[in-house]
Structure 1
Amino acid sequence: MQHFFVTPDQVKPPYIYIKGSDVNHMKNVLRMREGEELVVSDGNNQKYLCVVEHFKADEAVVSIRDELPLDTELSSRVYLFQGLPKGDKMELIIQKAVELGVYEVIPVETKRTVVKLDAKKAEKKVSRWNEIAKSAAKQSGRGIVPQVTRVMRYAEAAEYAKELDVVLVPYELAEGMDCTRKIIEGICPGQSVGIFIGPEGGFEKAEVQAAADKGARVITLGRRILRTETAGLTTLSILMYHLES
């Protein structure tokens, strides 16, 4: 069944008014017709079973048949602070992070970041990344569309993370799987969690130390060195399993 997102102000029981590019997608790509069922989420963790009533030039009017139980969100908000990778890796990271339950993705420019984005390029990239997040949220049945924020410098991202309950820094030079296991198992449902992932080449030692000095927990993901596009998704997978167990 097709899944669409709207904003809460578009929900006006007994109808929901779908607007924007989704209308063209419904009419001309999916070729949806009156009477066809679909699922609509309001982006605020509420989901509805709906039926297409009719189309207007720039709007689709659907009627609400039922409110659906929603249990796709993690019990904790998880923030992925991702060091900017080269090429299109960020698109894959965002897509899979949304599938795994991330709440927000923060692109981070670190000392070893190779990619340099000026303001115009960064704005275009972030817009593209948010579209990918929206598409992944539809596909995975999320109750919200995770946001991809503007690109932040490392110090700014660290400041942004200071209000989180737990901050994790997977680091290739860290040791002690038993310690890491205890840290993960100590995270309680409802706590906010930040994950800092370095770009290609990882974090500099000074960056890791600065995070640790502010209370971040430096952890290991095992004996193997993971690529930047693997490390964050591995950490998210571990958290998803822990929080949903």
Structure 2
Amino acid sequence: MRAPRFYTASHLAPGLTVVLDDNAAQHIGRVLRMQPGQEVRLFNGDGHDYAATLSDVGKKQVSAEVRSATANPSESPLRITLGQTLSRGDRMDYAIQKSVEMGVAAIVPLTSERCEVRLKGDREDKRIRHWQAVAVSAAEQCGRAVVPEIHPVMTLSQWFAFSQHCDTRLVLHHRTARPLTDLHTPTDLALLIGPEGGLSAEEIAQAEAAGFLATALGPRVLRTETAPVAALALCQWLWGDLGQRGS
């Protein structure tokens, strides 16, 4: 049986004993009911996986002794920053979870004209923490070496400025004829996904004025939580690591 894998913010190195984060400790002790001496894999975002042995499993604290480090080659050479407009219910959770699985590097929640979700103050902070936990869980499950950062909520104008460093910036727009295959090979890509009601014509024009290229995935209109998964899969296949390494 493969050793379960957990994220920790702690420094990791062979020979160190680390106290695991509360979420990992609860999962190890209460859900998996693991015992001292059993093996786990740890990662902290530095590009390595660490084999470790549980040294203490208590009700309030779990610790593990790190035995060895192995480079984890799971990160795509294509860096994708996703601008995902906020959506209702668990749609945002789904978009974040699946985007992490598809290799996204960072996620920026966005507001737009037709966005029906408004977050401010403590409510926004709580949702960002929740989405970051979703990203951690997804990275643990899919074997990634890095947990994508969930940035604070931005307006579209803030997002346009934030993403200027990317060499290619795309806005998904089903009413354009330009397919992804017409684009040059990027290394740093920004991807803009609209809300459930879609981006307005004015917002698409603003995105294009800011340097975004309107592109289509096909003739059908995708839901706001489906679009990032489809787009990321295609981008990783065309320019990332899916076409090279398979599933």
The TM-score, its normalising length taken from structure 1, stands at 0.91
Deviation at 1:215, TM superposition (A): 1.8
**For residue 18 of structure 2, what is the amino acid of its counterpart?**
Y
Following the alignment from structure 1 to structure 2, what is the Cα–Cα distance between the partners of residues 147 and 58?
A: 28
Matches within 5 A, 1:12-23: 12-21=13-22, 22-23=24-25
Once the two structures are superposed, what CA deviation does each residue of 1:155-182 show, in whole Å capped at 9, x if it has no partner? 11111111111111110211133xx312
Unaligned runs of 5+ in 2: none
Provide the residue aligned with 2:210 in structure 1. 214
Q: Which runs of 4+ in 1 moved over 6 A?
A: none
Deviation at 1:137, TM superposition (A): 0.8
Once the two structures are superposed, what CA deviation does each residue of 1:188-222 show, in whole Å capped at 9, x if it has no partner? 4xx21110000011111222122212221211111
Match of 2:82 among 80, 83, 108: 80
**For residue 233 of structure 1, what is the amino acid of its counterpart?**
V
Provide the residue aligned with 1:187 in structure 2. 185
Match of 1:199 among 177, 195, 200: 195
Provide the residue aligned with 2:169 in structure 1. 167
Percent identity over the alignment is 28
Provide the residue aligned with 2:9 in structure 1. 7
Provide the residue aligned with 1:53 in structure 2. 55
CA RMSD of aligned residues (A): 1.7
**For residue 108 of structure 1, what is the amino acid of its counterpart?**
L
Give the secondary-structure state (helix, strand or coil) at the position aligned to 2:51: strand
The TM-score, its normalising length taken from structure 2, stands at 0.90
Contact 1:112 1:204 in 2 (8 A): yes
Following the alignment from structure 2 to structure 1, what is the Cα–Cα distance between the partners of residues 118 and 61?
A: 39
Cα gap change, 1:82/1:65 in structure 2, threshold over 3 Å: closer, same or farther? same
Match of 1:231 among 227, 234, 237: 227
Following the alignment from structure 2 to structure 1, what is the Cα–Cα distance between the partners of residues 134 and 112?
A: 23
Single out whichever of 133-142 and 25-34 deviates more from structure 2.
25-34
Unaligned runs of 5+ in 1: none
Following the alignment from structure 2 to structure 1, what is the Cα–Cα distance between the partners of residues 225 and 25?
A: 34
Matches within 5 A, 1:17-56: 17-21=18-22, 22-55=24-57
Contact 2:83 2:107 in 1 (8 A): yes
